[in-house]
């Protein structure tokens, strides 16, 4: 199957969103563009934009490859996408509120009770707890893939601690430094106000008894975390403190931060620490990354934790397969953005089908992320498929399977000129008293010819994403 190319579809030649860019590109000296690619790499290296690769002892810190050809989305395409994303985010928040309270969707039989009760991402400690302003998922990254001119699908929902927004911001800044004349020629909607929007959005969900100007902080596991660059970057851009668990303690029913002037109360904590490590008194007793007693403060309504504990159930890949039902149940309308067909390996008939068609399918762990723990059947060797089949049979409920989609392609700059590579898109959504979606998001690109794996940990790169102001 031939993939849909977003710049040069086979049937029409050049798509309109790329027309102004193409005129500029055709007038460029290829040698200059190659030099600009090297300039971009120097900028990223100087800024320290790296990520850690788990499981590798050497070269664990890597530079994310950046391609200078932007991915361009028209204003009308973006409006349709945002409608679908808003609908989905509203449904996810309503779903979380429901399963931790009345559980009406379970009683209605639209989602199996056992899928929630036996799920390690479901936190019984959150039953009956309603976060300040009723918001569970303050920051969401919705991964979207395209298969045709008007065909967009949600690949997965990232409702825990979605990462990558710093790369979106740095990609844009780098492009504006390298090609200022291009932005005068093509009217692109801005993304650089995201940190200000994030701080405003977090401040808007402060606890009822918080300061008028709430104190916000970013909680990081520390400098060894793969996304530490992003934690530090966002704290700096928002103008708030970056803290580790050892900097915080519970004082008089509130969480307080150590400063040179003593301990100061924190009202909103944007945490980039997983649930299990958040409070050693409630979850993992040996965790040194969290704050002892923070869950008691949270249950008392004296701090906002973004995203709320227990939101991981919403980006579980087995739950994902029920998202069309979840969206319709809570919004009363069919989902605007479709799901990819998904086989739940916990079901005997589905497992049988998946085992018989491993060579054609993509199989993922239900709690997996970053491209780890997955099998891409068409590109895997016979031995890799056989080894994976043993893991699948040992724990079928730990996996889902999906067809291998023909993801759309966008051109990247190679030594021989433009060449198509598969891409996906992660728009970032902010939820408070309203839903805000920054125009664009993080486009991830599979740099190897023919590869469908876009994750940076698996050799992918990134592009600047342009939403046209039309």
Reported as a single tens digit per residue, the pLDDT across 24-50 is 999 999 999 999 999 988 888 887 665
Specify the domain boundaries for CATH 3.40.50.11290 within the chain.
208-302
Antiparallel, parallel or unpaired: β 66-73 and 460-467 = parallel
Task: Tell me the Ramachandran region of residue 366: left when phi exceeds 0, alpha when psi lies from -120 to 50, beta otherwise.
Answer: alpha
Of 338, 340, 418, 337, which is closest to residue 5 (Cα–Cα)? 418
Indicate whether 58 pLDDT > 50: no
Consecutive H or E run containing 237: helix 228-238
Nearest to 316 by CA among 50, 470, 152, 95: 95
**CATH architecture, domain 208-302:** 3-Layer(aba) Sandwich (3.40)
Mean pLDDT of 253-258: 96
Q: For the chain, percent helix, then strand, then coil, each to nearest 5?
A: 35, 25, 40
Q: Is the pLDDT of residue 65 over 90?
A: no
Give the residue from 304, 311, 336 showing the smallest Cα distance to 202: 304
Instruction: Round to whole Å and give the CA distance between 203 and 212.
Output: 9
Indicate the pairing of strand 409-414 with strand 460-467: unpaired
- Other CB atoms closer than 10 Å to residue 306's CB: what's the count? 27
What is the number of helices (H) and of strands (E) in the chain?
14, 23
- Tell me what pLDDT residue 49 has: 66
Residue-averaged pLDDT of the chain: 91
Arithmetic mean of pLDDT, 117-146: 95
pLDDT category of residue 57 using cuts at 50, 70 and 90: very low
DSSP-derived letter for residue 227 is T
194 CB-near residues (< 8 Å, 6+ apart):
165, 168, 169, 428, 438
Please list the residue range(s) of the chain that carry CATH number 3.30.1490.270.
Answer: 343-403
Q: What is the mean pLDDT of residues 284-305?
A: 96
pLDDT at 56: 47
- For the record, the structure tokens of 53 come out as 């690769």
Residue 42 is predicted with a pLDDT of 87
Spell out the residues 6+ positions from residue 456 whose beta carbon is closer than 8 angstroms to its own. 51, 62, 64, 444, 462
Which of the listed CATH numbers 1.20.1630.10, 3.30.1490.270, 3.40.50.2000, 3.40.1160.10 matches domain 343-403? 3.30.1490.270
């Amino acid at each position: 199957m031939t993939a849909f190319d977003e710049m040069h579809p086979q049937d029409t030649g050049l798509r309109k969103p790329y027309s102004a860019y193409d005129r500029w590109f055709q007038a460029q000296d290829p040698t200059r563009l190659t030099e600009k690619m090297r300039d971009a790499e120097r900028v990223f290296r100087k800024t320290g934009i790296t990520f850690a690769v788990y499981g590798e002892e050497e070269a664990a810190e890597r530079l994310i490859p950046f391609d200078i050809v932007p991915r361009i989305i028209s204003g009308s395409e973006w409006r349709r996408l945002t409608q679908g994303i808003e609908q989905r985010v509203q449904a996810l928040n309503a779903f979380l509120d429901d399963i931790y309270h009345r559980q009406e969707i379970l009683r209605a039989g639209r989602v199996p009770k056992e899928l929630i009760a036996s799920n390690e991402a479901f936190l019984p400690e959150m039953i009956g707890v309603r976060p300040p302003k009723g918001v569970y998922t303050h920051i969401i990254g919705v991964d979207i893939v395209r298969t045709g001119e008007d065909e967009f699908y949600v690949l997965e929902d990232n409702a825990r601690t979605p990462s990558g927004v710093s790369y979106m911001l740095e990609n844009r800044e780098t492009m504006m430094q390298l090609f200022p004349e291009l932005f005068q020629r093509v009217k692109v909607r801005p993304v650089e106000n995201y940190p200000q929007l994030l701080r405003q959005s977090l401040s808007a969900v402060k606890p009822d008894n918080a300061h008028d100007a709430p104190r916000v902080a970013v909680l990081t596991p520390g400098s060894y975390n793969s996304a530490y660059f992003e934690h530090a970057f966002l704290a700096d851009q928002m103008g708030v403190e970056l803290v580790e668990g050892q900097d915080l303690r519970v004082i008089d029913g509130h969480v307080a931060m150590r400063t040179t002037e003593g301990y100061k109360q924190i009202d909103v904590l944007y945490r980039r620490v997983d649930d299990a490590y958040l409070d050693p008194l409630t979850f993992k007793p040996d965790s040194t990354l969290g704050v002892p007693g923070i869950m008691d403060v949270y249950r008392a309504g004296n701090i906002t934790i973004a995203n709320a504990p227990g939101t991981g159930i919403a980006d579980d890949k087995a739950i994902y397969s029920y998202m069309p039902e979840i969206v319709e149940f809570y919004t009363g309308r069919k989902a605007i953005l479709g799901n990819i067909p998904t086989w739940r390996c916990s079901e005997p008939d589905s497992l049988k089908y998946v085992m018989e068609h491993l060579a054609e399918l993509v199989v993922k762990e239900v709690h997996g992320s970053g491209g780890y723990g997955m099998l891409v059947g068409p590109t895997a060797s016979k031995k890799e498929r056989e080894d994976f089949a043993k893991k699948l049979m040992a724990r079928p409920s730990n996996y889902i399977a999906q067809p291998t989609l023909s993801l759309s392609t966008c051109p990247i700059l190679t030594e021989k000129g433009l060449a198509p590579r598969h891409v996906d898109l992660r728009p970032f959504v902010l939820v408070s008293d309203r839903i805000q979606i920054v125009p664009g998001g993080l486009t991830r690109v599979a740099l190897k010819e023919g590869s469908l794996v876009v994750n940076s940990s698996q050799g992918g790169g990134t592009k600047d994403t342009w939403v046209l102001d039309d």
